[in-house]
Structure 1
Amino acid sequence: MTQLTNVWIAPEKIKIPDFIICGAMKSGTTTLHHVLDQHPDIYIPEKEIHFFDIDNLLEHPDFFLFKQGQWISQDIHEDPEKFWRWYARHFAAAQAGQMIGEDSTVYLSSKRAAQRIALQPKDIKVVVMLRHPTSRAYSQYWHMLRTGRAVYDFEQMIQYDPYSVLGRSMYYEQLEDFLRYIPRARIKIVLFEEFIANKAQTVRSVCEHVGVDFEALPTAAFKSHENSARIPKYLKIQILRNKWFRQLNTINYGDFLPTHHGQSKSKFNIPKIVNKAHRLINPLTDSRPPKMRASTKQFLDDFFKKELAGLDELLGQELLSLWFD
């Protein structure tokens, strides 16, 4: 084991999770998080932490900042103890006997997280939620648009920046990587479509996987539906805002990270002023996104059928026939 990997092994007496919801993004992970959070024997932090690939520029460009001629990055090698203390603080409120969870949806698509999770001194269990890959990509696009990261319409994003919206639906290569480091028995695959159709049955299977009593969940937990889609009223205005003010998005993470970006605490906060003004002009609505163009859906379905060939055999679970005719 190299020194590069040694820093990713948790020190003794550092709290680390018993299970991690690793993705995929826009596949029901937030709703599952909020259901499990109501279990008395589970503690799961409110926010995604992204610890096991926090240094991944390709997945987290907003975690890095070029400021006054210097790069500010998230490098655990600079101070491993600081990073592990930062990680453990997210679990500080967990009570004795509670199972500790984490929800970081980028782990599935990361090229680093699986190996680092596997290095830990406990056998961390993994929950992976998968959704029809085309539907997942389209849902992610609208999330990216709303949060300032999409600068084209959906078809243009596929043409000019395909990985940003399609990459996290490449389940075969992602799970192949996870299985290289983590035994299949420790990975629970949850289908978004089955979760929506029968939430209680799906959550029961997840509880069995992580080792808690399903019956201890309050009935009200199953009424949770988080992360409901809200879309900008005017698509073109939102795209213009995203193009002109792309740099404002980094500030959202400035004080959350182990290595701070050092953003100003001044009351005169330009990003907040700009975003507030934009929302007055272009408010978010509760409308559903428009239906995907039929030709685009067919194009992406054909693409993913080829890219995900062999997924059923890899997992020993039927998936593709449930998604594609």
Structure 2
Amino acid sequence: MALPDFLVIGAPKSGTTALHAALARHPQIFMSAVKEPKFFLTDGPPPDRGGPGDAQTFKEHVWRRADYEALFDQAPRGTLKGESTPFYLYDRQAQRRIQALIPGARLIVVLRDPVERAHSNWTHLWSAGLEPVGDVVRACAEEERRVAAGWSAFWHYVSLGRYGEQLEHLYGLFPRENVLQFRYRDLVDEPAATLDRICAFLGVEQGLIDEVPRENVTAHPDPTLRHRALSRLMRAGATVGRHLPGRLAASLTEPLEKALQESGRPRRPLSWEQRQALIPRFRDDIALLEKVTGEDFGDWLRPRDRSGGLMGGRPPGQGQARNGRPRVH
């Protein structure tokens, strides 16, 4: 069977795209050309309802078994086959489907500060003109309503970052030796060592890949009248696009998305006030994560400085820019 030997399963906005590209450069690894096939997210066709832009995303699902296996048909003999769908960690049914079909699969998990992850996720959709709420704290408050309305997982800003619950469930299905978990900052600050750690986990030669692609930082358009108008058109185009073939649907929205990105500033860091408002949504789960993993994640409950490091005490001020260190997304 042409099924993957390993999967990068989470979390979204935690460097999985860059990691997929880095692993694809290893001569003993074959990564699917479709980075995010989403095969294990459903038992059949994806749903036909959701939030703004979800219809286009659902059209991208590789949900037929034959189509999924075809992604790995070209893998050279003897190479390890892998794919990256960062929603598998969040989706409990996806975890069960993986266990049923590939019980011996090796799973790679990247954990990012959940507040930073939520902010990056919100910025992604805001910059694309799909997120109608112009403040991440207020957008997070909309999550329960959006989940009930069937909006796709990428809109679940808070729930996607509750890793304790997700890993507790995962470890009930897979032995711990089948799971490699590490922090997003490891991939950013020590890419060579982290890639060697992944290669050792997969059982392929170390030292052959030592860097990850640089990040294309998402622009952060200001909430101007122009942005609001383009965003409304974007959401309208996405609604119409659900009834059109994939390429035709994309032709409606791609020019608008390009226009939205023009003159946008790089993503701005969270203020300490925003961070304070969001931390309580993760506090109990961080305690569970520490219990499940035996590791300390207390830094996720504290302020961050302009470079993403820990502050000793005083909260950072608004408007501080991050330094120029390359990042991954």
Structure 1 length normalisation: TM-score? 0.76
Letter in structure 2 aligned against 1:224: P
Residues 114, 182 of structure 1: 8 Å contact kept: no
- 1:155, CA displacement in angstroms? 2.7
List per-residue Cα deviations over 1:131-151 (Å, max 9, x = no partner). Answer: 111001000111122334311
Deviations 1:126-185 (A, max 9, x none): 000001110010001111223343111123212223662212101111111211211111
Q: List per-residue Cα deviations over 1:176-205 (Å, max 9, x = no partner).
A: 121121111111001011221111111111
Give the Cα separation in 1 of the matches to 2:5 and 2:195. 17
Give the deviation of 1:230 after TM superposition. 2.3
Instruction: Name whichever of 197-206 and 46-55 sits farther off.
Output: 46-55
8 Å CA contact 2:37, 2:62 repeated in 1: no
TM-score, normalising length: structure 2: 0.76
| Sequence identity percentage | 23
Distance 1:273 1:210 in 2: 42
Conserved? CA contact 1:232–1:238, under 8 Å: no
Aligned to 1:292: 270
- Report the alpha carbon displacement of residue 225 of structure 1 after superposing the two structures with TM: 2.0
Change (3 A) 1:223 1:264: closer
SS of the residue corresponding to residue 149 of structure 1 reads coil
The residue that corresponds to 1:184 in the other structure is: 176
What CA distance in whole angstroms lies between the structure 2 residues aligned with 1:187 and 1:250? 39
In 1, Cα distance between equivalents of 2:139 and 2:257 = 22
Equivalent of 1:301, from 279, 303, 323?
Answer: 279
Match of 2:99 in 1: 118
Counterpart of 2:138 (choices 156, 174, 184) is 156
Aligned in 2, Cα 1:289/1:264: closer, same or farther, shift over 3 Å? closer
* Equivalent pair of 1:151/1:240 in contact (CA under 8 Å): no
User: In the superposition, relative to structure 1, how do residues 177 and 314 fare at CA in structure 2: closer, same or farther (>3 Å)?
Assistant: same
Q: Aligned pair 1:36/2:23, yes or no?
A: yes
Deviations along 1:70-90, whole A, 9 cap, x unmatched?
xx99897xxxxxx11110111
2:5, 2:106 within 8 Å by CA — same for their partners in 1? Answer: yes
- What value does the CA root-mean-square deviation take over the aligned residues? 3.2
Match of 1:172 in 2: 164
Give the paired residue count. Answer: 285
Cα 1:175–1:145 change in 2 (3 A) is: same
Alignment partners' CA distance in 2, 1:263 and 1:285: 31
What is the match of residue 190 of structure 2? 198
Match for residue 103 of structure 1 among 60, 78, 84: 84
Q: Distance in 2 between matches of 1:250 and 1:16?
A: 34
User: Cα offset for 1:286?
Assistant: 6.9
The more displaced of 137-146 and 228-237 is 228-237
Gaps of 5+ in 1: 1-13, 66-71, 77-82, 255-260
Residues 1:279 and 2:267 aligned together: no
Instruction: Summarize the Cα distance change of 1:75–1:230 in structure 2 as closer, same or farther, 3 Å threshold.
Output: closer
**Counterpart amino acid of 1:102?**
E
Q: What CA distance in whole angstroms lies between the structure 1 residues aligned with 2:6 and 2:256?
A: 41
